[in-house]
Structure 1
Amino acid sequence: MRDSGGSGSGSSHESGGGARTGGGQVPRLDGPWTHRDVAANGARFHIAEMGDGPLVLLLHGFPQFWWTWRHQLPALAEAGFRAVAMDLRGVGGSDRTPRGYDAGNLALDVTGVIRSLGEPDAALVGHDLGGYLAWTAATMRPKLVRRLAVESMPHPRRWRSAMLTDLRQSRSGGYIWGFQSPWLPERHLVADDAEMVGRLIHEWSGPRLPDDEAVDVYRRAMQIPSTAHCAVEPYRWMVRSMARPDGIQFNRRMKRPIRVPTLHLHGSLDPVMRSRSAAGSGEYVEAPYRWRLFDGLGHFPHEEDPAAFSAELINWLKDPEPDR
């Protein structure tokens, strides 16, 4: 299985249109950004980019793809940054490989894209699973990460502890336990035109619900062949590896402190990842760490209130000495 959402590695695409994958359609959606593909870590990754300046690499979460950053791309570009949103392995327009969905390898995808873009480093901005990978990349390849901004996701060690010892958090993240069943989660995700995707986004959002058109885009993207399987594989690894040598080794590696300025963003009404679970992540950061709780927002602050989120992010990125 190695589907992709576009043509060969290194090719460029104009904004808009779509690239066919099997029976589905990867939405390379219209906007002021440019679409192209880059090779990294043995795979091909779709990116949308705009602007010039220091690189800010945006990492989406589940059940979304690069388009979730459609508000932040122009805001960051206007603020003087090179803004790039990538599709993670197996999602959107990136390669769907038969393996490679452990957190360590996915983090190497991220740092490999930084190198392929010809940049010495990047400020990583990750949401949900993308946040988990941003924490991981900053630990594994600290020289490639200039700053770290994580949204709606605790540090991996904090996530593991909360899921295993906090009953309320374990229930809130119950969908992850459900993903451990073979094949059924994939079938549920794509059934009825991916109705489950729309339901999860609505249930996980705060009062400011995403518009129906945005939800339809995410539902279409999940129906691209093999996407649902690839989208749940990282969560299978996160749980199944807990008692395996690879997971134990990963957990030990994550003890290494983060030594770059870190911004931690969270919605006060997040029903998936409780703010209490995320708030203790600062203990793993030996650098300026800023915690920002968005009142009245859920799991997707960057979409629920894009103006407030972008302002917070850009102000922090431009702050030469972000304090605690």
Structure 2
Amino acid sequence: MIEHRVVHVNGIRLHIAEEGEGPLVVLLHGFPESWRSWRHQFGPLVEAGYRVVAPDQRGYGRSDHPADVAAYSILHLVGDVVGLIRELGEEKAYVVGHDWGAPVAWHTALLRPDLVLGVAGLSVPPPFRGRQPPLVAMEKAFGGRFYWNYFNRPGVADAEFGRDPRTALRKFIYWASGDVPGEIRQPLVDPERGWLAAMPDPGTLPGWFTESDLDALTESFSEGFTGALDWYRNLDRNWELTAPWAGAVVTSPALYVYGDRDPVAAFPGTPELIRKLPDRMPGLLRPPLELTGCGHWTQQERPAEVSAALVDFFRSCPRGA
């Protein structure tokens, strides 16, 4: 049975869900989600012999929501994972992330490979630091209409999502799923109308995401969206902070999984990066796993395939890594 508690790490309180015994697996969710995005993975991973822990990351759910925007830098987020592993009494862990959780997982492996038995990223591929800050790059490429730039405007997306959180989350989850028909387009936002106005509102939710799931997700944002959005407001700061690791690559045993209908996999330059990963990632134990027909919510849309891939990956990692 999944148990819940609060732990103190890195100067904040993190709510965690945990179950099982064995080598530690840390599961890191993305935006706009919570620990529950991994609800389907607990059973299979515990049955396979692992101790599974999924936190609400800082700014989310029942964990602390620091007021300072700078408190959501990649160094703070990696620090939370490092502190969590230590607080749980472990020396090493498998670290898995989806969406924003993936950069946190990848950077944990990049900055603290001594703590990582293996690292897996879903949707977002490993970090290769570009030549210019990402918000600056997207501002130039799309005239400020890329959703990162929209999220970077203080208070704007916070208010749009906060007016009717349940509707906002319903539309957002559906928009990025593999169930939406038609071609995948870049996530551009009309600065006057906002983003949600252009998103379809499904009459019924996809079969993999129930009304109860939506209720629980909505409840997790009872304190608003600002903490979660502050992660995006650190994109350029993260680029500056990671300058010492320019040119460095993740060397820990690694797995990358993505859906072929995931908008993130279609971001500018990302398809090319995915094709080159086997040559650029020394720790990649197998070619990137592409899930046909799957959208952005990888472990929820394809729970059985993702769980099986994770178990196979963990078992293939050298325990002394």
**Of 233, 240, 264, which residue of structure 2 is paired with 1:272?**
264
Deviation at 1:156, TM superposition (A): 2.7
Q: Distance in 1 between matches of 2:215 and 2:132?
A: 35
Q: When the two structures are aligned, how many residues end up with a matched partner?
A: 282
Contact 1:156 1:254 in 2 (8 A): no
Aligned with 1:144 (options 115, 122, 128): 115
Deviation string, structure 1 residues 217-267 (Cα, Å, up to 9, x no partner): 222222x22x4110000101104x3xxxx6334144253221211000000
Are residues 38 and 149 of structure 1, via their aligned partners in 2, closer, same or farther at CA, if it must alter by over 3 Å?
same
Counterpart of 1:127 in structure 2 is 98
For 1:213 and 1:38, the matched residues in 2 are separated by 27
Contact 2:97 2:122 in 1 (8 A): yes
1:319 alignment partner in structure 2: 316
- Amino acid across the alignment from 2:304: A
Matches for 1:1-324 after TM superposition, within 5 Å:
32-99=1-68, 100-157=71-128, 174-207=146-179, 210-222=209-221, 224-225=222-223, 227-239=224-236, 241=237, 247-274=239-266, 276=271, 279=274, 280-282=276-278, 284-290=280-286, 291-320=288-317
Q: CA deviation at 1:48?
A: 0.5
Deviations 1:79-125 (A, max 9, x none): 10001101111111111112310111111111110010000110001
- TM-score computed with the length of structure 2 as normaliser: 0.80
Larger RCO of the pair (alpha carbons < 8 Å, separation 6+): 2
Moved more, 54-63 or 133-142: 133-142
Aligned residues of 2:121 and 2:256 also touching (Cα < 8 A): yes
Residues 44-74 of structure 1: CA deviation (Å, up to 9, x unaligned): 1111010100000000000001011111011
Q: Counterparts of 2:66 and 2:133 in 1: how far apart (Å)?
A: 30
Q: TM-score, normalised by structure 1?
A: 0.80
SS in 2 for 1:74: helix
Contact 1:155 1:284 in 2 (8 A): no
Gap change, CA 1:184 and 1:320, over 3 Å in 2: closer
Q: Kindly tell me: are residues 271 and 229 of structure 1, through their superposed partners in 2, closer, same or farther at Cα, counting changes over 3 Å?
A: same
Residue identity opposite 1:42 in structure 2: G
Aligned residues of 2:122 and 2:258 also touching (Cα < 8 A): yes
Distance change in 2, residues 1:177/1:277 (3 Å): farther
Query: Alignment partner of 1:272: what SS?
Result: helix
Q: Is the 8 A contact 1:198 1:218 kept in 2?
A: no
C-alpha separation in 2, matches of 1:121 and 1:108: 14
Distance in 1 between residues matched to 2:20 and 2:130, nearest whole Å: 34
The unaligned stretches of length 5 or more in structure 2 are: 180-205
**Distance (whole Å) between structure 2 residues aligned to residue 232 and residue 160 of structure 1:** 24
CA contact (8 A) 1:49 1:84 kept: yes
- RMSD of aligned residue pairs (Cα, Å): 2.6
Identity %: 34
CA shift in 2, pair 1:201/1:264, >3 Å: same
Equivalent AA in structure 2 for residue 288 of structure 1: L
- Please say if residues 139 and 254 of structure 1, whose CA atoms lie closer than 8 Å, have aligned partners that are also in contact: no
Distance 1:266 1:251, change over 3 A: farther
* SS, match of residue 156 in structure 1: coil
